[in-house]
Amino acid sequence: MHEIKTVKVNGITLAYREYGSGDKYLLSTQNFFFKDSHMALLGQPPYDYHCFLVYMRGYGESEHIYDETLRDYAEVWGEDLMAFAEVMGIQSFYYTGISHGNWAAWYIAFHKPELIRAYVCCDGITQYHEERDLPSPLKKMRDHAEEYVGNKEVLSRVAWIENWPTENPQRLKRRKENFEEHLDILMHRKKEEFALPMLGDMTGCKAKSQEELIERLHEISFPVLIWEGGLDPLATPEAALEVAKAIPGAQYLMYQHLGHGGADEMPELTARDCDRFFKDVEGRIL
């Protein structure tokens, strides 16, 4: 696995992994990355992207957050990524993220869209929610962080689990590998990583209603692909289609047999789809 590097950005430390070279930049930010994530694959042959996988503030070897102040983490992580790009001399980039990794991209889309050349949003969409708190299992982890630190029995129940129906041996093998890798990541986490509130404006633009969000989506001018699993209970096909319909020229790709986390279960497929989309939208005419 490529080594973890660090850089000072706006007075804090961000950790990242770098794959590939050249000026065909692709950025992504997550609280963790699997070693064979589609973002990492895009920085290796047969692809030719220069990929920076940035660990979100609060996690891993990026600067941790120790207080319990409720922040808009879409804004925090979005601003961090924009500052990272500036420090690295990156004037524009492709973006792809999975689930929570999309928060930063939607924030940038509404605040500095000229940075993004094209965007593939996997396993998550911009959504309006009146109740902005974590799903119950993650809320329990946050509120009882000390019970999770180094507790393999407890962490085994919350590590990577995909239950979507399949008998495909490749998918089952990847699920097992993802579970073991994620469990290892969780076993090395500190209390403050579990306790991070991780609250955020899931619209990226502080929309006060779904109608306002849809209106703001009409403003997005760069190419967007919504990549989703048809069995995803968090970003449902109906909600994903509504987002795709609101963005000028957007595309929507749905795999009926995948759920939330499908991109991490099928990274080779996801990388291929990202590369095809990024190439196909060069010089597009709306």
pLDDT of amino acid 198: 66
Strands 25-30, 224-229: pairing kind? unpaired
- Mean pLDDT check: name the lowest of 27-36, 121-130, 247-256: 121-130
pLDDT of amino acid 285: 65
Q: How far is CA 159 from the centre of its chain?
A: 17
**Do 139 and 133 touch, CB atoms closer than 8 A?**
yes
Sketch out the chain's domains with CATH numbers.
5-132+200-280 (3.40.50.1820)
Report whether pLDDT(97) > 70.
Answer: yes
Residue 129 Cα distances to 67, 83, 241, 251, angstroms = 25, 28, 17, 24
Work out the end-to-end distance of the chain between its first and last CA atoms, rounded to an integer number of angstroms: 40
Token pair for 201: 């404006």
pLDDT of amino acid 109: 97
- Classify 47 in phi/psi space as left (phi over 0), alpha (psi -120 to 50) or beta: beta
The one-letter amino acid code at 221 reads S
State the pLDDT confidence band at 141, using cuts at 50, 70 and 90.
confident
State the pLDDT confidence band at 71, using cuts at 50, 70 and 90.
confident
**How many degrees, rounded to 5, is the angle at CA 227 between CA 55 and CA 47?**
65
Q: If you average pLDDT over residues 188-200, what whole number do you get?
A: 85
pLDDT of amino acid 286: 61
Q: If you average pLDDT over residues 73-85, what whole number do you get?
A: 96
Q: If you average pLDDT over residues 170-196, what whole number do you get?
A: 95
Whole-number Å distance between alpha carbons of 234 and 98 = 12
* Per-position DSSP letters for 54-116, written without gaps between them: EEPTTSTTSPP--S-----HHHHHHHHHHHHHHHTT---EEEEEEGGGGHHHHHHHHH-GGGE
Token pair for 114: 């000229």
Question: Residue 252's beta-bridge partner residues?
Answer: 226
Token pair for 246: 């609101």
pLDDT of amino acid 218: 96
What's the pTM value of the predicted model, to 2 decimals?
0.94
Report whether pLDDT(230) > 70.
Answer: yes
**Residue pLDDT, tens place only, 13-49:** 999 999 999 999 999 999 999 999 999 999 999 999 9
